[in-house]
Amino acid sequence: MPVGRSAFPFDGRSSAPSAHEPRLHVAFLWHMHQPSYRDPVTGEVLLPWVRLHGVKDYTDMAAALDEVPGARTTVNWVPGLLDQCEALASPDYGQRERFWRLTERPAADLSAVEIETLRQHFFSLSHANMLEPYPRYRELRDRVRQAQALTTSELRDLQVWFNLAWTGVTVRREPEVARLFAKGRDFEEADKRPLLEVQRKAVLGLVSRWRALSERGQVELSASPQYHPILPLLIDSDLARAADPSTPLPSLRFRWKGDAELQIRRATLSHAERFGAPPRGMWPSEGSVTAELLPLIRESGLDWIVTDEAILWKTQAGAAMRGAGADKFRPWTLDGVTLFFRDHGLSDKIGFVYATWPRERAYADFVGSLREIRKVALAQSPGQDAVVTIALDGENCWEHYPGGITAFLPGLLRAIEATPGLQLSTLSEARAAVPASPLPGLGTGSWIDGTFRTWLGDPVKNKAWELLTAARQAVRRPIAEVMREEPGLADLVLRAEASDWWWWFGEGHSSSFDAEFDALFRAHLMAIWVALGKAAPDNLQKPVHVLAGPGAVGPQTQRHKRPMTQIEPELDGSRGWYFKWLGAGEILQSFGAIHRAESLFSRILYGNDDRAVFLRVDARERCDRALAALGDGLQSGAAARVELTVQGADRPRTLTLWPPDPAMGIEAALGEVLEIRIPLESLAIGALPVRLRGHLDLMAPGGDVVLERFPGNGDLELELVSALDAALNIGV
């Protein structure tokens, strides 16, 4: 069977309905976005993700759509991302991008610092799908995990394999790349440059490739604001309180409406220059909207925007409309702008769920959901077409799919094409076909919880806003005036307003590159002060977050409290009194570049004595009710499972924690929380102290589908203490 082709049991009829049959327009929006990785002072490109996603996801998405030429979809580009793609044309790009330099450096000449960087960062990918299939890459990973030194030959193989593994299916067909995959190991220095140059060529061909898809009518290309800022917070940072009245505000208020306007206008102009026509629609960064934004959208010549259904529910509650037949399966109009509200559940299924499902089961589930939506929409508006909007990240989820985009997406699109009553459409096509309803107002918020708490509200995020606001106040002038007189300074201001800095600051998201993002943010602000001829404030010399920069322990530091003593809690499923888990380690849920807003697991408490490991799993509601609801919702009479996988000396070891596996001596109690006791021998643990690495999985009832993984980003690390550690109160 060809890669990506579906064996879904279609009935063979065309999906085109008869003239009188109402259609459900299935409107995908794939959002392509990367933050700015270039230091504005030195010109160094600190991180490689534009190049690597370009040679993988942006290229493979186009190839996946080529396989299904009748499928219509919308692809949304951040202009600042395309600026970075085009920067690869510079002859000195290879000298400016840090990871390119680290790849090209002769392995024998690597310094101790460079070797450590390779060991730490050249495994930054999905191990299950992008590392495990390759024996040599696995071997190198295992040697690093075991703290073994790498030979010169092994370092060279690591330099090549990181770049090979990130090369997408389409580019792997190039002879230079195919030869390296066939070779597999013992690479030579001469193997590196051809691989990197093939990657460069693929990324530089992206704009023309996507423009061709647009010109043949298959793809509608839309845009986000130039550098992906949270537009409502540029208009007025106090709007965070309109989204969530409990949000703590920064001490300095950001109010520069003209900045938001220019971010939109620059995006439409640069989009038109690249693709031959201005965009008709926009995904406002992070789906962030407020009523004050709509005039700026309309005046920029845009017809439509997309946000999350959470904003519709907030709007309806405020207008006392929810019982009046309003729904998310139609467009809405307000202030001359059409609004689409994405289906959060269906979007999340592609983003977070289907990667672990058999493809045919995923296709059947998705198409079944669309059929049900069509029934609901027809019941609400008989005889009329409807639209379901599915909007999600177009790049980061695919590394979790075996085979990536091309193994999954073409089959899904064919399944939809072959289903009567369903029609794949661009958002502008859906706007023209589906009657819109007037919206009496618009709630304020983003796609995450309908608030802005991911970007403003905790002390670290607010500190960053205060630093930005101080710099913006120093510039003083309206941004349009600055753009006319000092375009370089205006560009620095717009870049510093990007949402990405706040994504990684404070609570909620973390990666092994938090320090780089912190440094890049401060570099932009310092460059603004320098351009003004003023001394940068001293506080810009220090990381925004005290755990970023030199001395930081790692990506989980701010989310992980280590155990201070041995514990032996009684298992009864209750949160219990304060001292029950006193001294335990704590790990909070953490996400990386993609965020699952409706995760079930919220944190784990853990500890040990000399005989067993103890875990307490907290959910966002009572654990017993949450697991029971999964059983009822997915397979009546079956239980959802909770599994722990840890990396053993020779292979991963998976234990079923709930329902507890008595053969392994596991005990558990389920109630408000899930409490578990695991004998050390079941984990093949000898002497303490020891560090366990792995993950916790929530499994669907009656199957092997992973519904959720803890943590959402990185590995779960459990640091088990010895009695001596406990006595000295020093941890591991």
pLDDT tens sequence across 6-23: 333 333 333 444 456 899
Residues 494 and 616 in one domain: no
- pLDDT tens across 444-456, in order? 999 988 999 999 9
Asked if residue 56 belongs to a domain, the reply is: no
Task: Work out the angle between the directed axes of helices 257-275 and 206-215 (0-180°, nearest 10).
Answer: 80
**Comparison of pLDDT for 164 and 622, the residue scoring more:** 164
**Comparison of pLDDT for 302 and 326, the residue scoring more:** 302
Q: Quick check: 219 pLDDT over 60?
A: yes
If pLDDT is split at 50, 70 and 90, which confidence band does 2 have?
Answer: very low
**Comparison of pLDDT for 730 and 287, the residue scoring more:** 287
In angstroms, what CA-CA distances link 652 with 275, 678, 692? 48, 16, 11
Q: Quick check: 498 pLDDT over 90?
A: yes
Query: C-alpha angle 593/594/597, rounded to 5°?
Result: 135
Residues 594 and 678 in one domain: yes
Q: Quick check: 1 pLDDT over 60?
A: no
pLDDT of residue 75: 98
Question: Distance between CA atoms of 131 and 528, rounded to whole angstroms?
Answer: 41
Identify which of 457-471, 494-508, 574-588, 653-667 has the greatest average pLDDT. 457-471
pLDDT of residue 20: 61
- What is the DSSP-derived secondary structure letter of residue 229? B
Q: Quick check: 175 pLDDT over 90?
A: yes
Q: Are 666 and 676 in contact (CB under 8 A)?
A: yes
| pTM of the predicted protein model | 0.79
Q: What is the mean pLDDT of the chain?
A: 87
Beta strands in 38-135, from DSSP E residues, in sequence order: 73-77
Residues 647 and 684 in one domain: yes
Structural domain ending residue among the three candidates 182, 203, 224: 203
In angstroms, what CA-CA distances link 27 with 331, 338, 382, 581, 651? 11, 14, 20, 48, 43
pLDDT of residue 242: 96
The residue behind tokens 């309905």 is 17
pLDDT of residue 412: 98
Residues 635 and 516 in one domain: no
Rounded to an integer, the average pLDDT of 396-405 is: 92
Tell me which of 144-148, 246-250, 558-562 is least confident.
558-562
pLDDT of residue 638: 59
Q: Which residues pair with 606 in a beta bridge?
A: 585, 615
State what percent of residues in the chain have pLDDT above 70: 88
- pLDDT tens across 58-102, in order? 999 999 999 999 999 999 999 999 999 999 999 999 999 999 999
Question: Distance between CA atoms of 192 and 105, rounded to whole angstroms?
Answer: 9
Asked if residue 231 belongs to a domain, the reply is: no
pLDDT of residue 108: 98
Measuring CA to CA, which residue among 676, 711, 674, 677 is closest to residue 694?
711
Query: C-alpha angle 308/126/167, rounded to 5°?
Result: 100
Radius of gyration of the chain (CA): 26
pLDDT of residue 688: 81
pLDDT of residue 392: 96
Residues 489 and 565 in one domain: no
Strand, coil or helix: 24: strand
Q: Quick check: 547 pLDDT over 70?
A: no
CATH number at residue 677: 2.60.40.10
Asked if residue 221 belongs to a domain, the reply is: no
Structural domain ending residue among the three candidates 480, 511, 541: 541
Centroid of chain to Cα 96: 26
Question: Distance between CA atoms of 340 and 327, rounded to whole angstroms?
Answer: 10
Question: Distance between CA atoms of 363 and 409, rounded to whole angstroms?
Answer: 10
Q: Quick check: 253 pLDDT over 90?
A: yes
Residues 513 and 596 in one domain: no
322: tokens are 């929810």
Strand 652-658 and strand 386-393: pairing? Answer: unpaired
132: tokens are 């495990």
Residue type for 271, please?
A: H
Residues 603 and 717 in one domain: yes
Query: C-alpha angle 681/686/687, rounded to 5°?
Result: 140
In terms of Cβ atoms closer than 10 Å to its own Cβ (0-12, 13-18, 19+), residue 633 is: exposed
State what percent of residues in the chain have pLDDT above 90: 66
Structural domain ending residue among the three candidates 514, 541, 568: 541
Asked if residue 327 belongs to a domain, the reply is: no
pLDDT of residue 19: 53
Residues 468 and 535 in one domain: yes
Question: Distance between CA atoms of 5 and 131, rounded to whole angstroms?
Answer: 24
Asked if residue 474 belongs to a domain, the reply is: yes
Question: Distance between CA atoms of 50 and 77, rounded to whole angstroms?
Answer: 13
Q: Quick check: 685 pLDDT over 80?
A: no
Residues 534 and 677 in one domain: no
494 lies in which domain range? 459-541
Asked if residue 194 belongs to a domain, the reply is: yes
Asked if residue 564 belongs to a domain, the reply is: yes
Peptide bond into 679 cis (omega under 30): no
The CA-to-CA distance between both ends of the chain, in Å, stands at 51
Contacts 24+ apart (CB under 8 A), 470-475: 470/252, 470/537, 471/496, 471/525, 471/528, 471/529, 472/254, 472/256, 472/259, 473/252, 474/528, 474/529, 474/532, 474/534, 475/528, 475/532
Residues 599 and 568 in one domain: yes
pLDDT of residue 717: 81
pLDDT of residue 699: 81
pLDDT of residue 654: 86
Could you give the number of structural domains in the chain? 3
All residues at 6 or more sequence positions from 379 whose CB lies less than 8 Å from its CB, including other chains: none
Measuring CA to CA, which residue among 217, 207, 220, 346 is closest to residue 283?
220
Q: Are 3 and 405 in contact (CB under 8 A)?
A: no
If pLDDT is split at 50, 70 and 90, which confidence band does 593 have?
Answer: low
Q: Are 161 and 136 in contact (CB under 8 A)?
A: yes
Question: Distance between CA atoms of 528 and 392, rounded to whole angstroms?
Answer: 33
Tell me which of 152-166, 331-345, 405-419, 636-650 is least confident.
636-650
If pLDDT is split at 50, 70 and 90, which confidence band does 689 have?
Answer: confident
Residues 605 and 664 in one domain: yes
Q: Quick check: 337 pLDDT over 70?
A: yes
All residues at 6 or more sequence positions from 272 whose CB lies less than 8 Å from its CB, including other chains: 278, 279
Residues 474 and 607 in one domain: no
Asked if residue 110 belongs to a domain, the reply is: yes
Q: Quick check: 321 pLDDT over 80?
A: no
Q: Are 338 and 431 in contact (CB under 8 A)?
A: yes
Q: Are 15 and 23 in contact (CB under 8 A)?
A: no
- pLDDT tens across 458-480, in order? 999 999 999 999 999 999 999 99
If pLDDT is split at 50, 70 and 90, which confidence band does 398 have?
Answer: very high
Q: Quick check: 42 pLDDT over 80?
A: yes
